[in-house]
Amino acid sequence: MSHTMEWNPETLKNLSQCFLNTLSTQPEPRRAAEKALSDAADTVNYGLAVLRLVAEHSVDDQIRHSAAVNFKNHLKQRWVTSSATPISDPEKEQIKQLIVPLMLSCAPKIQAQVSEALAVIGNHDFPKLWPALLPELRASLETALNGNDFASVNGILATVNSLFKKFRYQYKSDPILLDLKYCLDNFAAPLLSTVESIAVKINAAAGSGPGSVVTLRQLIEAQRLCCRIFYSLNFLDLPEFFEDNADKWMNHFKNYLTTRYPAVEDSGADGLALVDELRAAVCDNISHYMEKEEELFQKYLSGFVEAVWNLLVAASASPSRERLTVTAIKFLTIVSTSVHHGLFAGDEILQQITQSIVLPNVMLRDEDEELFEMNYVEFIRRDMEGSDLDTRRRIACELLKGIAGNYKDKITQRVSTQINNCLAMFAENPAANWKYKDCAIYLVVSLATKKAGGASVSTDLVDVESFFRSVIVPELQGQDVNAFPMLKAGALKFFTMFRVLIPKQIALALLGDVVRFLSSDVNVVHSYAASCIEKLLLVKDNGVQSRYTSVDIGPILPVLMTNLFGALEKPESEENQYIMRCIMRVLQIADISPEVASPCITGLTTVLNRVCENPKNPVFNHCLFEAVATLVRRACEKNPSLVPAFETCLLPSLQMILAKEVTEFFPYAFQLLAQLVDLNRPPVPPHYMQIFDILLTPELWDKSANVPALVRLLQSFLQQAPNELNSNGRLRNVLGIFNKLVNKPSTEEQGFHVLNPIIENLGYDVLSEYMIHIWSSLFTRLQKSKTPRLVRCLIILMSLFLVKHGNQCLIDSINSVQANIFNMILDQIWIPNLKTITGYTEVKLSAVASTKLLCESTLLLDPAAEQLWGKLLDSVVTLLSQPEEERVEDEPELPDFGEATGYQATFVRLHNAGKKEEDPLKEIKDPKHFCIALLANLSAQFRGRFPPVITRYVSPANQAALLQLCTSYNLVIA
């Protein structure tokens, strides 16, 4: 194909054939067509040609639909400049001119795709770069309404809805408010006249018999879209136009909450859902007004409360109608927590709320059971605490909580009665009435009050211990782990929720039962059992002391691990994150003997090899690698003889990750390799040195996600194999990597993590030839961008260099860059920023190095340098005497926005593969004592010389602090 795609019968024929072949069931023609289209996408006017194909009514609808999807995806990738060839400006202009009329001429399925494509352009260009769009949509809307072309009306409204949605997801800012004003000026009045016009047409269609059902359905959908547009335009602020016309809007809203449309509602479930979606959209709007502008809304309030109430009682008794129920209850909840809570104060009303609204919505429905069986991941997401999904069960409990804010005793009394009634119903016939028991448990769990920030919960509804004993324990002791699974799940959830309140001896007695439920075939049940164990192991008494220790889980450890690994074999739980999180937690706490370690490492490696084929679940994968890191750390540190067996298991898997380029796992693999290198005693075995050489390939370092993990691995090699570093040009390569890292703001700190171990572990005879380049590179970087972080890293590096290789080597090597540059660095960088150093090891290192300069360097002991000497001492005293929070200002580090394009693997630190902090000055136990002793020793040699310098250059506060330090160590500076 040429570089520009011409539009002619030939192109139409070729493209049509390609799109037809992409629908083929045969892989060969399908792949060939996909490749041809992907190659053609780089040519100029490709998007325009595909759009024209979509517009060709002579072409089969299936082909046009496939082309419309391709067009939408093409715009997603290329409308905004990215790595793909962008669409040219002239082509963009032509697409914008064609797309609206074309969208309106398409059949609904194709129209939906084109409308989405239009929204892709709109998200970027609207309104500033596409001023013609809104006037064009407005004019088309008027024409379509007058011509009763409701398919087009809905196409236009759906597009406007997509364009205006952005106002719901943005913070208020001047540009956004300007865009909003433009949309209001152009569309607020037309929106109201559209709503009024559609309302008239709805009434006419509703009264004219069954022939107009199709029209009525379209009109109801149109009114729903108008409500969503209303929501977007009112989201950030309530505009004047809407406030001035509030009566009109509220009348329409109320009308849709109180009118039935039997012709549509009784024509099957989807008809009822259509009308309910309109009512739900109205509930969202009135809730918004109630929250934002309660004074304006109060005159409509009682009418709306009554309308919503009546709808809700009907909807709660129906098996479906979830969305309407949730939005209606939300509205009542907002009212119940406002100054108008008195509307709910009456005993009769409270009785009705618990009886007719809360209870029916908390009782399990068929669709809950279906979700429980068919999609356990989604069930848990909705059921577990903290989901932001509004389910009718949760939202019904939120209403009770809202009312309890003002009428706590009345609600507690009524709900307690309901709980007892439910349990009595269950007792009459447990097999048939198990859902009543589930309902009782759900109410206690959902209405529990959480203490901020902790795992602690409480409830006034029941006495937790006796409820646990009489209601929960019988379920947990049930011998059949697959019977009444929803009830078992509820019982496990209760145990998890109230774990802090249940005494240790009672909980321990039941732990074996919970472990048994790991072998249930029901995914939710074994997931909740794993979650229960994992959360129990995290319980702390008095905020510090772990309640359950290795001694407590020792007796059940073998069966616990067997059942956990067994659960990972069950269908659909192969990547169950709750199971893997539990494995990780148990390994962090249990006492790991070789008998446990061996099957665990084999089991984890098997799982690792499986997920490498197709990594899907990031949480599961993270817990898996964390579990491996924990096992390696805790088993091998206690018993180094296990290292070879662990290597035999793990190294092939880690090498496979690198060989097969499973890039998502690179950061994890490098951290685990670092752990294994650390466990080896020098000399490092040859197979690790192969990995060391792979580590030096520059391409690996291009991905920012890899860098921290690569640095961690490099640090291990530099510490364990410093001699090997100096052969085969490796040192030059490593310094090349340092240079690359330090010259990018996002990785500059990592550059120092590479350089520091080189300075620490290699002799000056090896380093000397490279130092001039290292210092030059750092000082050049400093001139370009003197960030606080770079300055701190540089001071720590110079301090490390000084304590390892002496102050003269430091001064000479820095001065080799430029004569006397050391004095300037000391004066402008080191002295003023010494006080910003944080971290025990870093403060110790820089204080000792600075004091050594003061006491041992001929440069600073020269009487001509007394001002530098005095200022440096002043900084040292600040560093030693002031607490961190007083001497360090929090400066925001700006993120580096340069690289964040497209999806990338991200670096996630494995806590258990972390590096133990090395202290280069282990022999100095008390850095303050060491520094003051050096100074006292110096002043004894030059008696009387330093007190005047101190008086002159050290601040009065620091003079006092210095005196106090001297006194506390019984030393003098005279």
Nearest Cα neighbor of 498 from 547, 450, 530 is: 450
- Per-residue model confidence as pLDDT tens digits over 502-537: 999 999 999 999 999 999 999 999 999 999 999 999
Rounded distance between C-alpha atoms, residue 828 and residue 847, angstroms? 17
Is 556 in a helix, a strand, or coil?
A: helix
- Per-residue model confidence as pLDDT tens digits over 206-228: 887 777 889 999 999 999 999 99
Predicted pLDDT of residue 449: 85
Rounded distance between C-alpha atoms, residue 459 and residue 418, angstroms? 15
Nearest Cα neighbor of 465 from 420, 511, 503, 512 is: 503
DSSP letter (8 states) at residue 324: H
Rounded distance between C-alpha atoms, residue 771 and residue 773, angstroms? 5
Asked if the model's pLDDT at residue 899 lies above 50, the reply is: no
AA letter at 618: P
In Å, how far from its chain's centre is CA 731?
39
Mean pLDDT of 885-892: 62
- Per-residue model confidence as pLDDT tens digits over 131-184: 999 999 999 999 999 999 999 999 999 999 999 998 998 888 898 999 999 999
For Cα atoms 247, 253, 254, give the angle at the middle one, nearest 5 degrees: 90
Mean pLDDT of 671-699: 85
- Residue 490 CB: number of other CB atoms within 10 A? 26
Q: Are strands 449-450 and 545-546 parallel, antiparallel or unpaired?
A: unpaired
Rounded distance between C-alpha atoms, residue 462 and residue 468, angstroms? 10
DSSP secondary structure string, 208-230?
A: S-GGGHHHHHHHHHHHHHHHHHH
Asked if the model's pLDDT at residue 733 lies above 70, the reply is: yes
Question: Would you give the end-to-end CA distance of the chain in angstroms?
Answer: 89
Give strand pairing partners of 457: 450
- Per-residue model confidence as pLDDT tens digits over 274-332: 999 999 999 999 999 999 988 999 999 999 999 999 999 998 888 778 899 999 999 99
Residue 258 banded pLDDT, cuts 50, 70, 90? very high
Predicted pLDDT of residue 455: 66
The two tokens of residue 469 are 């004993």
- Per-residue model confidence as pLDDT tens digits over 630-654: 999 999 888 889 999 999 999 999 9
Asked if the model's pLDDT at residue 195 lies above 90, the reply is: yes
H helix intervals, 41-106: 46-55, 61-78, 89-105
Residue 4 banded pLDDT, cuts 50, 70, 90? confident
Mean pLDDT of 705-731: 83
The two tokens of residue 668 are 């994890």
Task: Select the more confidently predicted residue: 206 or 437.
Answer: 437
Predicted pLDDT of residue 81: 74
Nearest Cα neighbor of 939 from 912, 910, 966 is: 966
Nearest Cα neighbor of 532 from 595, 468, 483, 596 is: 468
Asked if the model's pLDDT at residue 903 lies above 60, the reply is: no
Q: For all residues of the chain together, what is the average pLDDT?
A: 90
Asked if the model's pLDDT at residue 394 lies above 80, the reply is: yes
Residue 661 banded pLDDT, cuts 50, 70, 90? confident
Predicted pLDDT of residue 895: 35
Asked if the model's pLDDT at residue 335 lies above 60, the reply is: yes
Residue 900 banded pLDDT, cuts 50, 70, 90? very low
Give strand pairing partners of 450: 457
- Per-residue model confidence as pLDDT tens digits over 88-108: 999 999 999 999 999 888 888
Q: Are strands 449-450 and 457-458 parallel, antiparallel or unpaired?
A: antiparallel
The two tokens of residue 866 are 């007394």
For residue 456, report the phi and psi dihedrals to the nearest 5 degrees: -85, 135
- Per-residue model confidence as pLDDT tens digits over 62-77: 999 999 999 999 999 8
- Per-residue model confidence as pLDDT tens digits over 831-888: 999 999 988 899 999 999 999 999 999 999 999 999 999 999 999 999 999 887 777 6
Predicted pLDDT of residue 800: 95
Nearest Cα neighbor of 810 from 799, 818, 820, 794 is: 799
The two tokens of residue 205 are 């269609």
- Per-residue model confidence as pLDDT tens digits over 404-424: 999 999 999 999 999 999 999
Rounded distance between C-alpha atoms, residue 576 and residue 527, angstroms? 7
Nearest Cα neighbor of 196 from 247, 259, 264 is: 247
Predicted pLDDT of residue 906: 60
Rounded distance between C-alpha atoms, residue 548 and residue 326, angstroms? 40
Predicted pLDDT of residue 389: 65
Predicted pLDDT of residue 818: 93
Predicted pLDDT of residue 896: 35
The C-alpha torsion from 503 through 508 and 513 to 517, rounded to 10°, is 90
Give strand pairing partners of 541: 545
